[in-house]
Amino acid sequence: MTAPIYPKSVVPWTDRVDEQDVIFAKDPNSLAAEIISLENTLGTMPHRENAPYTGSAVTYGNVGARISDVLAGSLHPYCSLTANNFSVFNNQGPGTKFGQYNVFRKNYDPFGYYNGSDITIQASGLYLITATQSWAWNNSGYLRQDLVIANTVVCGDMWQWNFAGSGPGDYQNNRFATTNFTWIGGIPAGQRVRVLSENGTSKNPYPVADSWFRAYCLRKLPGNISG
């Protein structure tokens, strides 16, 4: 069979003219070779993305639409959860002796990460995890928010009401205290990801106005990569 030039180069071609040029077998053979080479390079169903993370394959109208959607990051798993107007008990609520796990509701979850209260990872990968929580005003003690992956605390943030050099009296009454964290690392599929809230004040229970919890998969990783 005639050897194709593509994809290493572009085949040269001169238009043939009816009743002037003699069509040799090599002419259609070379075109057929280039078509086959092009098809082999693109592969079959080049307008279909075979779910690189989780879920079903996505079939686009054309290859350009597939490339645009992939570049836009639309297939990267993303889960956004929220909780409003709940209470955190002072070592008396459900969870651990150091606090209680937040129970969220689904805000955005097209990839099925929400498990009814927090997040269960569906695809092994490198994840960016963020959380923010707004607590009501107080005048003593501390508040804490931790990220827990597979029952291990990996990071957190603490708000101390008795902060040195100032004090609650200089922090205007009725202003919210805010705790937040951002973490990046590998998480295998199947791992549970939670937020642990700790009330270290004498106010029991302690009111929380708003809490957000988000997970975004940046890229795939082997399933045994953690942290």
pTM: 0.83
Give 80 or 90, the one with higher predicted confidence.
80
pLDDT at 25 over 90: no
pLDDT at 59 over 80: yes
Q: Which amino acid is at 121?
A: I
| pLDDT value of residue 195 | 97
Residue 198 and residue 160 in contact, taking contact as beta carbons nearer than 8 Å: no
| pLDDT value of residue 170 | 53
pLDDT at 154 over 50: yes
pLDDT at 205 over 50: yes
pLDDT per position as a tens digit, 71-84: 888 889 999 999 99
| Arithmetic mean of pLDDT, 81-103 | 80
Residue 89 and residue 198 in contact, taking contact as beta carbons nearer than 8 Å: no
Going from the N-terminus, what domains does the chain have, and what CATH number goes with each? 78-220 (2.60.120.40)
pLDDT at 173 over 70: no
Q: Which residues of 206-225 are buried (b: 16+ CB within 10 A; e: fewer)?
A: bebeebbbbbbbeeebeeee
Between CA 120 and CA 153 the distance in angstroms is: 16
| pLDDT value of residue 110 | 93
Q: Which amino acid is at 61?
A: G
| pLDDT value of residue 134 | 95
| pLDDT value of residue 93 | 45
Residue with tokens 């078509």: 35
pLDDT per position as a tens digit, 114-140: 999 999 999 999 999 999 999 998 878
Lowest mean pLDDT, pick from 62-76, 100-114, 122-136, 171-185:
171-185
Give 121 or 27, the one with higher predicted confidence.
121
Edge-to-edge strands, sheet with 125-135: 105-108, 78-88, 206-220, 125-135, 177-187
The torsion defined by the Cα of 145, 150, 151 and 156, in degrees rounded to 10, comes to -20
